[in-house]
Amino acid sequence: MTVGRCRRTARLPSSSSAPSDADVFNPRPRIDAIAVTPQQTCWVVDDALLEPDRLVEFAVAERPRFDDAPHNAYPGPELRLPEAFVQAFERWFSLHLRDRVGLRRVQRATARLSLTTRSPASLQPRQSICHVDAFDLQPGQRIAATVLYLFDDPALGGTSFYMPRRPLEDIAVLLRDSAAMTSDAFEARYGIAPGYMVESNAWFQRVGTAPPRYNRLIAYSGTMFHSGDIRRPELLRDDPRTGRLSVNGFFIGSRPFGS
**Top CATH class, 31-254:** mainly beta
Domain boundaries, the chain: 31-254
pLDDT in tens, 10-69: 333 434 567 766 679 999 999 999 999 999 999 999 999 999 999 999 999 999 999 997
With a cut of 90, say whether residue 173 has pLDDT above it: yes
**pTM over the 0.85 mark:** yes
**Rounded distance, CA 252 to CA 254, Å?**
7
